[in-house]
Structure 1
Amino acid sequence: MLASVSLLLLSAHGAAVAQDVAPPTTAQATEKVDAANKAKEDQGTLVVVKGYRASLRSAQQIKRKSDSIIDAVVAEDIGKLPDVNAAESLARLPGIQITHGSDEGSGVLVRGLPDVATTVNGRDISTAELRRVQLQDFPSGALAGIEVYKSGSADLLEPGLAGLINVRTRRPFDFKGFEIDGAIRETYNDQNEKFNTNGNLLITDRWSTGVGEIGALLNVSYTEQDYRNAVRWATGYVANSTADPALPRYPDQVGVYMDTGHRWRPSANATLQWRPNDQTELYADLLWQAYRAEHWNDWAMAPLWSGTKTNVVMQEGTNQVASMTNTGGDPIQFYRSTGSDRTDTQQIAVGGSFTSGKLKLSTDLAYTNSLYSNSSWSLDSALKQSYPINVSYVSGGGAAWEAVGVDVSDARNYIWRGYYESIYKVGGNGIQWRGDAVYDTDWGIFKQIKAGVRYSDRNAFYKANDRYGWTLPLAIPFDSIGVGELTLTQDTFRGGEQGFRSYLQPSYDGIRGARETLLAETRAALATRGNAPLDLAKFQPDLMPYDPYRSFTAKEATHTGYVQGRYETQFFNSQVDGNIGVRVVHTVGKYSGVSKVTWDNVETAVPKSVTQNYIDVLPNLSMRLRPNDDMQIRLGITKTRTRPDFGQLNPALSISQYVEGNTPVPDHADAYGSAGNPDLKPLTSTNYDITWEYYPSQNTSASVAVFYHDLFGFINNYTTRTNDPVYGVLEVSRPENAGAGKIKGIEVAGQTFLDFLPGAWNGLGVQANLTYIDAYNELPDKLDGAGQMVKIPGVSNWSYNLALFYEKGKISTRLSYNGRSRWINSYDNRSGGWEGEGTEAVNRLDYSFSYSPNDAYTINFDASNILAKPFHNFHEYEAGKRFVRDIRDEGRYYGLSVRFKYQ
């Protein structure tokens, strides 16, 4: 949050830490901490620290004191980095990898795995029909801290295979009294030349009354972002890939794509706390998160599957084409897809705790509701005639092309190709309750016993529909259909390799605002075509209804119990402590959908339902050895499992017959389909962890972690072709459980301020971490190639972070660099052998500078994605043979902010 905002040092359980002294035992440490904090609060003071140094110290304390293997970032860390959301802040931790899209960090992987459970203040939360929350929906300015649990314990909500991420919001008892904190930030994107405004405001107070101490807090935040990424691409279909090896091979489509949009996220959280006496505390939490977006995506494709190839140049020593000219092929095709998105997630919770002597009881009851909807409208066009295409597959690292002789600014060169609409809505709600008891014992080496129960009941649904009217054969002039003025798309390519960079399109409002006109034009065109009765019938209603055959529902309940014991003893001259426990989860679920087949313009449907009922037993054992006050060694063995997402369990199958003519597809299947998989099993893993941690001072630490996951059933989507006796060559994409898998790796991390340097130089600091992961699993046993070991999709072998700090007096600054090596995205066997899609290494450089003239204000400048290195995907169609799929130019962002505090 604010550079000058007071920051409590928080332990992994939220208790304020009064001093950085390694205690003899964890239980004694907790007692000392609680006593010190109580004494401070009674005197009307709190332990206060500021700045980068304080935030690193606080994160170090969380890691050091936790019973689990954990990494953390805290409020100063998040607030001072040039990060818009929580996901981007997590990328700076060891073993954390994230994906980027549309100029935003999103998907989070922990030690190579995407299956991460998410909680807010220790409470389960999820977005729409998912089992987890979208971490990018948490604005960084609204958070107190984020903790990544890389090993679980029985008292934690059961983590996914990858672990658990807990997001902490602020509460009024974190502050000493009345306080207003706020920030306003203006950002600039150098790629689309747009400005955006972001801000947050926190108001809190606490009072001593006749009924005890009462605190209230309200925190509101608003973030927005305009983006436009420019992409030059080649298809994953490689011509002649299954033919004579002597034939030249090349992607048979090339194109450009501009991903454009405006997103904004308002959010708010409020908390009431009441401490009627020293034994009792009650609270009520309210959280609201919203996501809004308008987007318009421009796409152009030059077909190369037909026509005459000349000027062919081969890549040296291969049968792969480097460059060529294609003449007389199909004309270039275009679309502008527009749409809007809306997410609302609300969670309300009440709970409290009661302490009597050695016994502490706590409870929490929460209700969550989340809804996501999307509507899109796409207008398609094409050139009236074919033009020669000069293409290079190796220009600036990928495909670049130009159309010879076309005037892209002349509307007379364009015809209308089709109109598309879609609607989509998913949602979920649920209630959860937990009760926990903690008892400090005198039972030999066992010093504490925890036990608890939990109940949850989740519901989820999905519904959608779409319709498309294909008008290309009618050759209707594109400027005659009433969508307003056609203008050239904005050119945001950074380099000079790409020749075809811009073309005519209507505006966003010209498509969305002209919907009634487009409906009328589409109906008239489809009636003229005469061979599209099913398409024409779909366009009769003005408001498209949800398709009853494209829906699913899920209802799932879990009953959980756990018991965990904490032990402490001596082993030679080392202090030893740890936990041993077990968590038992009973899951009962029902998942329903409707299969749909579209064949010869006739639709048929078959309802399907499936139930699951199973029990997971999840033991855990941890040990911490402390040879001295500065060093500790952790050992951990845990078992984890992750249930499939609700959508993956959808029993329905959707099959559509291939219709010749819409978009010619070489080597096409007779039918295409997609499906869920009701036979999916939870992912299970037995996890082994060893860490060495060294804390020579409050601001210095070093650690090495070695981990090994023995897993089974990793889920990924696979696309396969089969010879079906009814549908012929059928290509279906569906999730499948892979076989056995292994993930092993090592993390090395360290941080320090160079306090030993003289004068102003001792304000320098450094933080660095490096992670290596080796992750493989077997291909599913139901598919060709079963048993073949392949890299787990989404996992980079290497990820790394380096941050340099300087903090002295009123100035603080940070330069941070992070990256990850190449990874595989997916596998398929369309061409009879296993192919892979992947992404090349990604590196980012960010910078921030803060100046605090006094304790009330801070001025901050930041820059993110300074290097703006293009993002590369590739397609490997044979072992060792690949083409670059796309090269994406992303925006640099510059921000200027003012932060303030009033007490």
Structure 2
Amino acid sequence: MEKSMLWYRASVGAMVVAGSLLAAPAMAQTTEPTAAESDMVGEIVVTGIRKSLNDSMTVKRTASGVVDAISAEDIGKFPDANLAESLQRISGVSIDRSNNEGNGVTVRGFGPGFNLVTLNGRQMPNSTSLISEGIGRSFNFRDLASESVSAVEVYKTGRADLTSGGLGATINVRSPRPLDRPGFRAVASAKAQYDSSTEKGAKVTPEVAGLLSTTFADDRFGILVNGSYSERNSRKDRAGTQGWVRNRGDRNNPALNLSAIDASKNPTKAFWTPWTVDLDTWDSNRKRINGQVVLQAEPVNGLTLTADYTMSRYKEKTDMHRMSFWFDAPDAGKADANGTLVDVTTLTDELNFWSWKFLNDTSNDSFGGNIKWDASDRLSFELDAHSSTSHSNPDTKNGQAAEVLADLRNPAGSIDYIRGTFSGKLPTAAFDDTTIPGSGYDFSNIVSDLYQVRGYEVKNRINQVQLSGHWKSDGALKAINFGGSFTDYKVDTLTLSTFRFVNVPLKGLAYGYEPRGNALSSFPGASQLFSQIPIYSATQFVDLVKANNQYALDPPAMDGVGEKTWSGYVSFDIATDFNDMPVKINAGLRYERTDVQSYSIANGIVALNYRHPQELQVIRDTTPTSQTLKGGYTEFLPNVDFRMDVTDKLVARAAYSKTIARSSLSAMFPKTSFLNSRPGGPFIVSQGNPNLLPYTSNNIDFSAEYYYKPSSYVSVGVFKKWVSNFIGATSLNKPVLDKNGNPLRDPSVNPRPGCPDLSATPNPACLSQASDPIITWQVNTVGNLKSASVQGLEATLQHTFGETGFGVILNGTLVDGNLKLDPYDFSQVLALTGLSNSYNIVGFYEKNGLQARLAYNWRDKFLLGLGAEPTNVAAYGQLDASASYDINNSMTVFAEGLNLTNANTRRYGRFKEQVLDAEQFGARYAVGVRMKF
């Protein structure tokens, strides 16, 4: 309570101070405002950056509730090459990056899964191929080229007429329509991109885009066509581990020094051991194609018909090569004060030589139609419908896997010792291979180890119909808005997951090394982990496995979720005066009913096979079995938005809304997934929960905005969210049953003669039998566990310096919550993820045809996820720049630079010493030309 009051007083204090500062210039003013100042968006004709800023400012100023926007400077010309990179310039918005490109957004501390992205008001599907990305709802902005976007609107407060699902925000991407800007318009651009990180493929790659829009028959008919193609080659250097395990090792081992652990914070003297030490290179080729066709007609006044098709094709291929070794359990080690083994040694072990091939192949298609009809001067209707599909890795059934992995190793025990240290930002590694001829790197000292084939095929389909009406009047009740919608949301997934240890000759395998040295030079004090990285093809190794008759592919599993949502809403727009100050109120209520059905289809479990000293293989029969569960929920979502024009420049707002976000898709699959079944443990499975309720949040906002001159304003706002039904992880210790209802047993305890056995056909002696001990599994699942609260403060300054051409944008966000990670609480199942402070500094210049922009974005550290062990992300800042020059009215040349300071990213576990990923990407540059007609 005391903390909440302190936060409240600080927030109110900040608003009072801001209001005083904002009012000061007005109080000092002794002359009447100029005509331009009185009507800054109606009469001033501006272009370029200032036009974009004015359009965005107009959206913010005139909106009901708290809305921010980014508008294109001109048709087909969005401010950034990536939509997510643009959105991070808005206060309260941070982004997630993949390969140093923005792909998802976090709003007010709520990550991509908590925000709904719509295209022209339509809910859009999403899909992925990669196990690491999971199966979620969050839209990936990398799929959509910015050239096809006219504006992006971020609704931070809920409204009855908005499609539900955005607990953090609803983000609406708007694409251009021909009748919005009648006449003939054509734009073409070509860009050459240079990626300084590239080691494989061309460093310079193309990006081209074109847009054609025209109207005819007295501007009653129009057509718009746009398309784009971009390609990028890149490299990522990474060092890290595959996670940290608590209390893995013998604490009674005298060579394990735990004396430094601070028992006042860590009373059980828990300690953490890394799974691995890794050094990677990731070489990627990304291709993206976007296209859109829009047909519009206004055959009679007041009736507008629109038909549109939008498509995207995204394909990214990555070859990853890794030098690594595994600490199965430490033979020696030293812990720091928090319990992290910062110095770990394993005796008589081997090095690991990995190759990995990724394929992320996604196709998105959307067909839509829209009818707008002005039935009278006061009554209008709009009917909108679309059918949209996102399909990832569509050739999975034909054997195309999203991920193919291979591992080679030294003969068991051939390396005398392996040591890793973890006291800095990067790990270090050392090993002793003096007892084998040559070195551990020599191909003659390498044998086969394992292969994996895995990945998703996902088909996500959304059919949606929305009907809305608008009645307006001249009284205090300005308008009544009403409508309803039906959304049929369906996701079907096919999951491949095969893991096999093998023993095959490596004759014929094309094999080499790449010297690495200090590969991660952007990290201060970067250390050499391994001097070389293995280079070979994972798919060629799998071909060798096939040629030696040791290849097998586990039957795929199928899972799906279907949601049908019926909704209806009504809202009222009221306009009145209070002490001669105009007041506008929007009050509404949305009703929603959602029916959920989830299913899983997998072959029945027969037994466990003791196949390898590190593998207990799950054996299934040939008969798929289906499991189906149903659920559902009903929600009432009210909102009230209050806006007062205190002066002609000062706007005050207050808002209340209730919003929801639906649970992740994979969390609702009813199947049992085997995560770890190694001899001796751990034994871990996961199970979904289709009866999960949506997250619900009650939100309040207070803000003040001062529009003190053209293209300039200051805003300060505070918000608080009370979130219920937070989904957290839970676990139970219990047996897992086979298809006959019997508990699975462990054949690796007191193994029978001939076991383990690597034979492709399981050895009956190595299968679970009634005499083997029953395994107690850690069964991980999820449930609606707790409530939480989040509060924050946002501030923005946008200022242009008269007619000098210079301007600046400054914004920042402070955000805090009541459920934080306690690194010493090992029973904690829920903590708020994504919460972090952030700020942006943007300076720009625009005059005489020259435009220039320098932008720095910073995000503080935050908790990314809380699983068996947490994942934290270190603070990150990036500097970008762009410039353009209008040679004439038709031609513009431009240049861009991204990540100019070669910023790096770092993720870590429970403590900052527990490095998970340290990644370096390099800077990217581009030059290009843009033509318009």
Q: TM-score, normalised by structure 1?
A: 0.83
Deviation track 1:138-180 (CA, whole Å, cap 9, x = no partner) reads 1122211111000121112224111200001111123342222
Q: Cα distance 1:646–1:237, how it changes in 2: closer, same or farther (>3 A)?
A: closer
1:251 aligned to 2:273? yes
Q: Secondary structure at the match of 1:237?
A: strand
2:519 is the counterpart of 1:449: no
| Segment drifting more, 240-249 vs 412-421 | 240-249
Is residue 332 of structure 1 aligned with residue 351 of structure 2?
yes
2: CA distance, partners of 1:855 / 1:691: 40
Equivalent position of 1:690 in the other structure = 702
Residue by residue over 1:598-636, the C-alpha shift from the partner in whole angstroms, topping out at 9 and shown as x without a partner, is 642333775321112322111111110111111111111
Specify the SS of the correspondent of 1:714.
strand
Does the aligned pair in 2 maintain the 1:125–1:132 contact within 8 Å? no
User: What is the identity, as a one-letter code, of the residue corresponding to 2:547?
Assistant: A
* 1:309-328 equivalence runs, <5 A: 309=332, 322-323=342-343, 326=345, 328=347
In structure 1, how many angstroms separate the alpha carbons of the residues matched to 2:300 and 2:554?
Answer: 57
Displacement after TM superposition at 1:407 (Å): 4.3
Q: Which amino acid aligns with 2:362?
A: T
> How far off is 1:724 after superposition?
4.4
2:260 and 2:335 in contact (8 A); partners too: no
- Quick check: 1:307–1:330 contact (8 Å CA) kept in 2? no
2:586 is aligned, of 579, 582, 603, to: 579
Task: Report the equivalent of 1:205.
Answer: 214
Amino acid at match of 1:568: A
Residue 498 (structure 1) aligned with residue 527 (structure 2): yes
1:668 to 666, 676, 681: 681
Contact 1:464 1:546 (C-alpha < 8 Å) held by counterparts: no
Q: Which moved more, 1:152-161 or 1:627-636?
A: 152-161
Q: C-alpha displacement at 1:427, in angstroms?
A: 0.6
In the alignment, which residue of structure 1 is the partner of 2:879?
845
Q: Tell me how far apart the structure 2 counterparts of residues 748 and 617 of structure 1 sit (CA, whole Å).
A: 31
CA distance in 1, matches of 2:895, 2:661: 41
Question: Which ranges of structure 1 fall in alignment gaps of 5 or more residues?
Answer: 1-18, 37-46, 527-535, 661-666, 757-761
Is 1:303 equivalent to 2:326 in the alignment? yes
* Among 428, 433, 442, the residue aligned to 1:400: 428
**Equivalents in 1 of 2:342, 2:451: separation in Å?**
36
With over 3 angstroms needed to count, the CA separation of the structure-2 counterparts of 1:489 and 1:519, relative to structure 1, is farther
Alpha carbons of 1:387 and 1:181: their partners in 2 closer, same or farther (altered >3 Å)? farther
**Which residue of structure 2 lines up, in the alignment, with residue 603 of structure 1?**
620
Is the Cα contact below 8 Å between 1:232 and 1:498 reproduced in 2? no
The within-5 A match list for 1:387-786 is 387-395=416-424, 397-404=425-432, 407=439, 410-442=442-474, 444-471=475-502, 474=503, 476=504, 478=506, 480=507, 482-488=508-514, 492-494=519-521, 497-501=526-530, 503=532, 505-507=534-536, 510-512=537-539, 516-521=543-548, 523=549, 526=550, 539=552, 547=556, 550-594=557-601, 597=605, 599-601=607-609, 602-603=619-620, 607-655=626-674, 658-660=677-679, 668-669=681-682, 671-716=683-728, 718=729, 720=731, 722=733, 724=735, 726=743, 728-755=775-802, 762-777=804-819
Contact kept? 2:663, 2:694, Cα under 8 Å:
yes
Q: 1:65 & 1:111 partners in 2: Cα distance?
A: 22
CA gap 1:714/1:299 in 2 versus in 1, 3 angstroms:
farther
| CA distance 1:327–1:237, shift in 2 (3 Å) | closer
Determine the C-alpha separation between the residues in 2 that align with 1:166 and 1:250: 44
Matches within 5 A, 1:741-890: 741-755=788-802, 762-777=804-819, 791-796=831-836, 798-828=837-867, 835-876=869-910, 882-890=913-921
Identity %: 25
- Aligned equivalents of 1:436 and 1:284: distance in 2? 18
- CA 1:186–1:251 in 2, change beyond 3 Å: closer, same or farther? farther
Q: Is the 8 A contact 1:489 1:505 kept in 2?
A: no
1:40 — aligned with what? Answer: none
SS at structure 2 position matched to 1:816: strand
Counterpart-to-counterpart distance in 2, 1:836 and 1:564: 43
Report the alpha carbon displacement of residue 459 of structure 1 after superposing the two structures with TM.
Answer: 2.2
Tell me the amino acid that sits aligned with residue 430 of structure 2: E
Shift of 1:327: 6.2
Preserved CA contact (<8 Å) 2:722 2:789: yes
- Aligned mates of 1:266, 1:825 — CA distance in 2: 31
What letter is aligned with 1:741? A
- Mapped to 2, the partners of 1:410 and 1:875 lie a distance apart of 34
Q: Distance in 1 between matches of 2:450 and 2:161?
A: 56
- Give the whole-Å Cα distance in 1 for the aligned partners of 2:809 and 2:342: 43
User: Is the 8 Å Cα contact of residues 221 and 267 (structure 1) preserved in structure 2?
Assistant: yes
Pair 1:738–1:90, CA change in 2 (3 A): farther
For 2:381 and 2:862, how far apart are their aligned partners in 1?
Answer: 46
2:403 is matched with which residue: 376, 384, 394?
Answer: 376
What stretches of structure 2 of length at least 5 have no aligned partner? 1-34, 128-134, 253-257, 262-270, 394-400, 610-618, 737-742, 744-773
CA change 1:233–1:329 in 2 (3 A) is farther
Residue among 194, 215, 238 paired with 2:222 = 215
| 8 Å CA contact 2:362, 2:392 repeated in 1 | yes
Deviation at 1:358, TM superposition (A): 0.9
The residue correspondences of 1:43-82 to structure 2 (distance < 5 A) are 49-76=46-73
Q: How far did residue 810 of structure 1 move?
A: 2.2
* 1:328-367 → structure 2 map (5 Å cutoff): 328-355=347-374, 356-367=376-387
Letter in 2 for 1:499: Q
- Work out the CA distance in 2 between the residues paired with 1:620 and 1:146: 22
Alpha-carbon distance in structure 2 between the residues aligned to 1:424 and 1:746: 40
Contact 2:71 / 2:78 at 8 angstroms: preserved in 1? no
SS of 2:914 mapped into structure 1: strand
Q: Secondary structure at 1:60's aligned position in 2? A: helix
**Residue of structure 1 in register with 2:11 after alignment:** none
Which of 148, 159, 175 aligns to 1:169? It is: 175
CA contact 1:149–1:165 (8 Å) conserved in 2: yes
| Residue correspondences, number | 804
- Counterpart residue identity of residue 774, structure 1: D
